Structures are given as structure tokens and as C-alpha cells.
Amino acid sequence: MKSDNCYGEKYREKSFIPDKYGNNIGCYNTFEINKDFKKVKQGTKKFERMINILYFNNDKGFLNNTNKEDIINDFEEIKSIEQYNSIFYNKKIDLLMGYYWDGDGTLAFIDKKKRIFINTDCKKDYIWEEL
């Protein structure tokens, strides 16, 4: 059985193009996306689902947060910021990928089996978690 780290790194390798030095730590030292991935439009179900995963680190949204009004306002603002709009889909392998960079990178994938893998510190290859 593969670990979360194996899946996350395998998907990262498929998603990003190595930099000119051969480094392929996507969402850390390279941000060039593989040509098979197409940008996902805002307002689509894929976009909204990935925003939930990136922002709330889950697939359900608010969970037990008590101040939902503030979170909704933050959430709407975040959706309009370019760094949070880096969401791509590869139809050939049915892989949805999203990331944002705010000094640290967060990277997430939803694979064809609908499993979700997230890494909240992209320079590390060993903190992948399946949600």
C-alpha cells in the first residue's frame, strides 16, 4: 500500500515541469504547469471544491467554525486573489490540482478515485495527508 507521500509526490511530478536546473519541487521552485493541465474557471464545481480544500483543508467547507460570516467574507476575498486561482485539471488522467503561494506553498490533488491529498508546506515532500 502506497503512503500519502508517495501519491502526493507522484501527482506533483505529473503536474509541474522541472526548472532549468532539473528541480521539480512543484509549488516551491517551479510553477510551470504540465501542458496537459488546463486552468479551471472560477464558479465551476471543480474550482469551488478545490478552493474549499485549499482554504479549509477539507472537502466540506466550514466544519465547526463558529464565526461563519467572517469566514464567508474571507472566502469570497480569497477566491478573487490570483494566488488562490491556480487550479488546473488534467482530463487525460482525471486529476484536479490546486495550489497557492503566500510565502509557503499549499498544494492539493483530487485523483480519479476522488481521493484528496494535500501538502501545506510544499518545500517538504513528506507531509502529504489524505483528507
Residue 37 has pLDDT above 90, yes or no: yes
Question: Do 88 and 81 meet the contact criterion of CB atoms below 8 Å apart?
Answer: no
Band (pLDDT 50/70/90 cuts) for residue 62 is: very low
Residue 59's pLDDT is what? 52
Q: What are phi and psi of 24, to 5 degrees?
A: -135, 50
Residue 8: its H or E element? helix 4-15
Cell of 75: 472566502
Cβ partners under 8 Å of residue 31, min gap 6:
16, 86, 101
Whether residue 57 is predicted with pLDDT greater than 80 in this model: the reply is no
Categorize the per-residue pLDDT at 48 as very low, low, confident or very high, splitting at 50, 70 and 90: confident
The 10s digit of each residue's pLDDT in 67-104 is: 555 555 555 656 555 555 589 999 999 999 999 877 77
Q: How far apart are CA 87 and CA 41, in angstroms?
A: 8
